[in-house]
């Protein structure tokens, strides 16, 4: 044991940090406990370790420590940090396997301490406090004001241009008083002269144009000018960016173009929908209004740095522990940029528990880079003429997020939390001068109530970022089709149709440590391949460190044959030198260790869409809809199918309180019936065509594939589990063929309720017992007009089988199509039974409610709903 320890000490002298840039390849080898616990049914690369392998751990620790020392002295600190921690891990495992001593324990602590010191130095080096020369920041803001003025000038917006030019002049002249050197002063004066000259020219030309004009002419001009600046209104229905009816200003980048989806319905909102969107615009006490085309003219240029009126975001506990100050990009970078390059590998999560959001940002960035489609940069403002997001020295940004049914406008300033060592305490880019990741994260977390984020899932986060259709697939579900799922992802991912993340479930610490995975954690899927019959996925841990340790990990010496390395363009030895959180994993291992696959689908796969926004009041209907769904929101869906069509329906519950998001107890789903678009009352009669699973996610997706050509009519029913609260929701249909969606309205507006009880002699039972049936209660009503619609409901305790009969006593026209002599409510049911009658002819009718068995005593409610008023009397 002592000889083993000497190997470590002789090969790994302890060095203090020096600077350099070279990275060399290292080869740490994974070692597992004696009995492998990966539980793979396929060939496992985990080596079985005997007692003798404890010395091998010591040997590996010595080798890795030697490489850590080399990286440390050469200045490659990121690699050194990783290697020191690997060396400490090997020594820790050696102690578990039986080789233990105070010297080894001390050495473990030394390696960990050195890694911590280097990490602190690294973050301090990456994010130093930048002290700009006096006047430099004002010069940057003046430049930005001037650029904004030029845009308004070219667009013919004289008033706005003059205002911006004037602000630039004032800023430059004020900054000249405190500028630190003559060079900056000269630049400020030249900018002021340029802005002043152009402002005076514009004022002069405006006066010349107005000279001699009549007062009413000027009034008319003013009126027309006011029309060009549309007021905020609730946007029209539709998918994607919301476009006002008013034309955009000249020179405005076409970032609000409509998608190729055709709207399958009216483009105006109803009053009810406007009210829903208004109510759910207030989230966590702040208003997030719909994103409109007029917002492309949002003012971003100011003479002083912009400060968000909503104040600073609340910090998470881990942030508070290390928090030093709030800083703007100009305080921590000498050359701040919004975007240097859109890249998934530069994204790093820190101490905020938003792994699913960071994973979502990563795959959105990868998609944009790979398919050249603005997925993430499209939501960031301000932009330049090319539509690229730009750094704003004035500190104001606008982010467009899909929240509560529609795209919404999120305004943030650029203040970011910084730690004691100058490190950012939020997600950031390893390209140290770019800040888009930090600001997009800040905007999303602002909506969510602050950095103390309760956690989410990538379906929710990706939908907010992109508006792509969320689908959740549970790997542990008994109906999970492993083969079909892999084929679908493999095909659609490479076509650019889908974004994919995966998430682990609960794990013990020991199982997570062996696997190299994080429990209940989201991972971005960067690639998927099938090579030589092997099904592989490339994943990224948002932490940008800590990787999978099983099959096809960088330490797997069994599966990474030279041929596989070549086919996948992967070098495990090179990957061993630096942990960036990216790894390959086989699909079998993924299905064993992970719980959920989240897929977000490109809505451009569909050609037609329509959305409606509604409120479901808590008082409407029973708490649980096990017996009656008649009072649930219902919709008629008519699909004109040419054959082989897809129809997807997305139900989204609006969330306005962080506690609702944190402790989500509202379980929602969508039921689909083949009932010709007619109202459904009994949840299982007829049986649902699609019986949705109630989940406590804001999104529920229902998918249908229609193979037969023709018209397909469905009834959609929104359902909750144990409804206690009023909810607001959006229902959106996507289809590859034309369709129409309409809410099934209640035609019976008039209600008359009576209460009663089957008691003693009046508990006569059903018609199967004629001797006692006649003793049941009898109610009578008169219908004075033809074509009246009725809905009659009978309710009783759930353990009682009930039904009723309606008998025509007198009819005005027995030849009418709506005439009947008697009707039964159907099979006797537990606790609830209903009958609908249409085109009922004028006359007198008796209602006889009954239980199935005689002598069954119970209270009941008999409700009459009708399209015109009726009076109900009890005869006996």
Quick one: three-class SS letters along 331-352?
A: HHCCCCECCCCCCCCCEECCCC
Measured distance CA(584)–CA(587) in Å, rounded: 10
- Which of 308 and 38 is assigned the larger pLDDT? 308
Average pLDDT for 728-743: 95
- Relative orientation angle of helices 355-371 and 436-447, to the nearest 10 degrees: 130
Q: Domain 611-743: give its CATH code.
A: 2.60.120.380
Q: CA nearest 236: which of 295, 281, 288, 293?
A: 293
Measured distance CA(406)–CA(420) in Å, rounded: 40
Strands 262-263 and 608-616: parallel
DSSP string, 650-708: EEEE----HHHHHT---EEEEEEE-STT----BTTBSPPSEEPPPBSSSEEEEEEEE-S
How far CA 763 is from CA of 94, 214, 760, 847, in Å, comes to 80, 89, 6, 15
Mean pLDDT of the chain: 82
CB 448 within 8 A of CB 658: yes
Average pLDDT for 581-595: 95
Span(s) in the chain for CATH 3.90.70.10: 469-601
Residue 23: what pLDDT?
32
CB 359 within 8 A of CB 501: yes
- Phi/psi of residue 198, each to 5°? -70, -35
Tokens of 506: 């609960």
Q: CA nearest 536: which of 526, 544, 528?
A: 528
pLDDT tens profile 638-685: 999 988 899 999 999 999 998 887 777 788 999 999 999 999 999 999
Measured distance CA(769)–CA(773) in Å, rounded: 6
Residue 585: what pLDDT?
96
Measured distance CA(622)–CA(795) in Å, rounded: 11
Average pLDDT for 723-742: 93
pLDDT tens profile 359-402: 999 999 999 999 999 999 999 999 998 899 999 999 999 999 99
Q: Report the 10 Å Cβ neighbour count for 624.
A: 13
Q: Report the 10 Å Cβ neighbour count for 280.
A: 23
The question of whether 355 is a catalytic residue gets the answer yes
Measured distance CA(859)–CA(876) in Å, rounded: 16
Measured distance CA(690)–CA(688) in Å, rounded: 5
Strand partners, 845: 781, 808
DSSP string, 414-437: --EEEETTS-BSS-EESSTTB-HH
Measured distance CA(391)–CA(319) in Å, rounded: 25
Span(s) in the chain for CATH 2.60.120.380: 611-743, 750-874
- Give the residue carrying structure tokens 């005439």: 819
- Phi/psi of residue 396, each to 5°? -110, 135
Q: CA nearest 715: which of 693, 689, 737, 695?
A: 689
Residue 422 has pLDDT above 50, yes or no: yes
pLDDT tens profile 827-869: 999 999 999 998 888 889 999 999 999 999 999 999 999 988 8
Tokens of 583: 């790894």
Q: CA nearest 363: which of 518, 516, 527, 486?
A: 527
11 pLDDT band (50/70/90 cuts)? very low
The question of whether 541 is a catalytic residue gets the answer yes
Residue 249 is classified by DSSP as: P
Measured distance CA(390)–CA(382) in Å, rounded: 6
43 pLDDT band (50/70/90 cuts)? very low
Residue 209: what pLDDT?
63
Catalytic residue among 70, 77, 402, 521: 521
| Range ranked top by mean pLDDT from 110-114, 222-226, 260-264, 673-677 | 673-677
Residue 237 has pLDDT above 80, yes or no: no
Residue 210: what pLDDT?
61
Q: What angle do CA 643, 644, 645 make, to 5 degrees?
A: 95
**Residue 646: partners with Cβ closer than 8 Å, 6 or more residues away:** 605, 606, 703, 704, 705, 706, 735, 736
Measured distance CA(615)–CA(365) in Å, rounded: 35
Residue 55: what pLDDT?
81
Residue 259: what pLDDT?
55
Residue 116: what pLDDT?
83
| The CATH fold of domain 129-207 | Methane Monooxygenase Hydroxylase; Chain G, domain 1 (1.20.58)
- Which of 859 and 579 is assigned the larger pLDDT? 859
- Which of 327 and 161 is assigned the larger pLDDT? 327
434 pLDDT band (50/70/90 cuts)? very high
Give pTM, 2 decimals.
0.77
pLDDT tens profile 172-196: 777 677 776 777 777 777 777 777 7
> In the CATH scheme, what architecture does the domain 750-874 have?
Sandwich (2.60)
- Which of 219 and 604 is assigned the larger pLDDT? 604
134 pLDDT band (50/70/90 cuts)? low
Residue 45 has pLDDT above 60, yes or no: no
CB 700 within 8 A of CB 589: no
> In the CATH scheme, what architecture does the domain 469-601 have?
Alpha-Beta Complex (3.90)
- Phi/psi of residue 801, each to 5°? -85, 125
Residue 31: what pLDDT?
33
225 pLDDT band (50/70/90 cuts)? very low
DSSP string, 485-515: HHHHHHHHHHHT-EEEEEEE----HHHHHHH
Measured distance CA(554)–CA(315) in Å, rounded: 36
123 pLDDT band (50/70/90 cuts)? low
The per-residue b/e assignment along 396-415, b for 16 or more CB within 10 angstroms, e otherwise, is bbbbbbbbbbbbbbbbbbbb
pLDDT tens profile 798-810: 999 999 999 999 8
The question of whether 157 is a catalytic residue gets the answer no
pLDDT tens profile 282-336: 999 999 999 988 888 888 988 889 999 999 999 999 999 999 999 999 999 888 9
Measured distance CA(489)–CA(484) in Å, rounded: 9
Residue 224 has pLDDT above 80, yes or no: no
- Phi/psi of residue 793, each to 5°? -120, 135
- Which of 458 and 216 is assigned the larger pLDDT? 458
Tokens of 335: 């050359």
Average pLDDT for 454-481: 93
- Phi/psi of residue 225, each to 5°? -60, -40
- Give the residue carrying structure tokens 């002269």: 193
CB 289 within 8 A of CB 232: yes
Helix (H) or strand (E) holding 404: none
Catalytic residue among 4, 355, 426, 808: 355
Across 28-37, 78-87, 270-279, 734-743, least confident range: 28-37
Measured distance CA(820)–CA(197) in Å, rounded: 89
Residue 230: what pLDDT?
34
DSSP string, 107-156: HHHHHHHHHHHHHHHHHHHHSPPP-PPTTHHHHHHHHHHHHHHHHHHHTT
CB 462 within 8 A of CB 499: yes
- Which of 525 and 224 is assigned the larger pLDDT? 525
Q: CA nearest 460: which of 725, 258, 696, 276?
A: 696
- Relative orientation angle of helices 2-11 and 53-74, to the nearest 10 degrees: 20
Cβ-defined contacts of 506-514 (< 8 Å, 24+): 511/37, 514/32, 514/33, 514/37, 514/38, 514/549
pLDDT tens profile 545-571: 889 999 999 888 899 999 999 999 998
Residue 128: what pLDDT?
52
Across 9-13, 136-140, 780-784, least confident range: 9-13
Catalytic residue among 241, 541, 600, 775: 541
Span(s) in the chain for CATH 1.20.58.80: 129-207
- Which of 220 and 528 is assigned the larger pLDDT? 528
Residue 28: what pLDDT?
32
pLDDT > 70 in the chain, percent:
84
Tokens of 15: 């060095």
Measured distance CA(548)–CA(410) in Å, rounded: 37
Give yes or no for a cis peptide into 46 (omega within 30° of 0).
no
């Amino acid at each position: 044991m002592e000889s083993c320890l000497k190997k470590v000490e002789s090969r790994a002298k302890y060095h203090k940090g020096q600077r350099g840039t070279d990275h060399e390849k290292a080869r740490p080898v994974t070692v597992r406990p004696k009995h492998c616990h990966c539980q793979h049914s396929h060939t496992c690369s985990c080596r079985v370790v005997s007692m003798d392998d404890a010395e091998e751990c010591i040997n590996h620790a010595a080798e890795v420590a030697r490489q850590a020392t080399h990286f440390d002295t050469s200045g490659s600190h990121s690699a050194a940090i990783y290697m020191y921690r690997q060396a400490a891990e090997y020594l820790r495992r050696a102690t578990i396997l039986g080789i233990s001593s105070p010297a080894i324990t001390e050495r473990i602590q030394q390696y960990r301490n050195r890694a911590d010191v280097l990490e602190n130095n690294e973050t301090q080096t990456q994010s130093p406090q930048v002290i700009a020369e006096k006047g430099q920041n004002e010069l940057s803001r003046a430049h930005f004001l001037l650029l904004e003025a030029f845009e308004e000038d070219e667009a013919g917006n004289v008033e706005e241009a003059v205002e911006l030019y004037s602000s630039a002049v004032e800023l430059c002249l004020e900054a000249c008083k405190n500028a630190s050197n003559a060079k900056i002063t000269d630049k400020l004066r030249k900018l002021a002269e340029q802005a002043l000259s152009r402002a005076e020219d514009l004022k002069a030309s405006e006066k010349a144009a107005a000279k001699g004009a009549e007062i009413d002419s000027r009034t008319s001009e003013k009126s027309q000018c006011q029309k060009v600046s549309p007021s905020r209104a609730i946007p029209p229905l539709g998918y994607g960016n919301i476009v006002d009816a008013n034309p955009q200003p000249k020179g405005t980048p076409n970032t609000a173009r409509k998608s190729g989806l055709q709207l399958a319905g009216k483009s105006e909102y109803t009053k009810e929908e406007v009210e829903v969107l208004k109510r759910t615009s207030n989230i966590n006490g702040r208003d997030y209004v719909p994103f409109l085309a007029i917002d492309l003219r949002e003012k971003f240029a100011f003479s002083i740095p912009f400060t968000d009126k909503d104040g600073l975001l609340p910090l998470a506990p881990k942030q508070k522990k290390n928090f030093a100050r709030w800083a703007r990009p100009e305080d921590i970078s000498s050359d701040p940029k919004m975007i240097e390059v859109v890249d998934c590998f530069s994204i790093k999560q820190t101490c905020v528990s938003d792994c699913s959001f960071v994973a979502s940002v990563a795959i959105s960035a990868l998609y944009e880079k790979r398919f050249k489609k603005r997925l993430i940069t499209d939501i960031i403002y301000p932009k330049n003429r090319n539509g690229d997001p730009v750094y704003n020295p004035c500190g104001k940004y606008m982010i467009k997020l899909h929240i509560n049914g529609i795209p919404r406008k999120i305004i943030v300033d650029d203040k970011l939390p910084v730690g004691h060592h100058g490190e950012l305490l939020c997600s950031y880019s390893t390209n140290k001068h770019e800040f888009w990741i930090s600001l997009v994260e800040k905007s999303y977390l602002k909506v969510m109530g602050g950095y103390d984020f309760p956690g989410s899932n990538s379906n929710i986060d990706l939908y907010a970022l992109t508006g792509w259709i969320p689908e959740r697939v549970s790997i542990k579900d008994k109906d999970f089709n492993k083969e079909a799922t892999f084929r679908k992802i493999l095909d659609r991912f490479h076509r650019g149709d889908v974004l994919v993340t995966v998430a682990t479930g609960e794990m013990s610490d020991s199982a997570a440590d062996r696997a190299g995975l994080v429990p209940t954690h989201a991972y971005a899927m960067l690639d998927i391949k099938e090579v030589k019959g092997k099904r592989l996925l490339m994943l990224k841990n948002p932490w940008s460190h800590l990787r999978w340790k099983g099959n096809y990990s960088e330490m797997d010496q069994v599966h990474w044959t030279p041929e596989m390395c070549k086919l996948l363009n992967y070098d495990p030895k090179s990957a061993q030198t630096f942990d960036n959180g990216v790894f390959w994993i086989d699909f079998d291992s993924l299905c064993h260790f992970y719980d959920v696959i989240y897929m977000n689908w490109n809505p451009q796969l569909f050609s037609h869409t329509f959305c409606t926004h509604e409120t479901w009041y808590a008082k409407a209907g029973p708490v649980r809809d096990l017996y009656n769904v008649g009072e649930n929101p219902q919709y008629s869906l008519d699909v004109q199918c040419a054959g082989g069509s897809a129809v997807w329906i997305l139900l989204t519950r609006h969330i306005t309180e962080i506690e609702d998001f944190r402790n989500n107890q509202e379980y929602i789903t969508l039921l689909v019936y083949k009932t010709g678009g007619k109202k459904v009352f009994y949840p299982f009669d007829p049986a649902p065509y699609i019986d949705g699973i109630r989940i406590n996610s804001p999104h529920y997706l229902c998918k249908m594939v229609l193979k037969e050509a023709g018209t397909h009519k469905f009834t959609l029913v929104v359902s909750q589990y144990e409804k206690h609260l009023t909810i607001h929701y959006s229902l959106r249909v996507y289809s590859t063929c034309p369709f129409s969606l309409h809410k099934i309205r209640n035609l019976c507006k008039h209600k008359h309720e009576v209460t009663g009880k089957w008691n003693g002699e009046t508990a006569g039972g059903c018609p199967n017992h004629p001797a006692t049936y006649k003793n049941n209660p009898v109610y009578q009503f008169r219908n004075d007009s033809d074509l009246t619609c009725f809905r009659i409901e009978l309710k009783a305790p759930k353990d009682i089988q009930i039904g009723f009969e309606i008998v025509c006593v007198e009819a005005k026209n027995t030849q009418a199509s709506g005439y009947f002599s008697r009707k039964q409510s159907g099979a006797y049911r537990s606790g609830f039974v209903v009958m609908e009658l249409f085109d009922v002819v004028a006359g007198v009718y008796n209602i006889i409610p009954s239980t199935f068995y005689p002598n069954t005593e119970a209270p009941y409610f008999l409700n009459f709903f009708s399209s015109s008023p009726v009076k109900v009397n009890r005869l006996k």
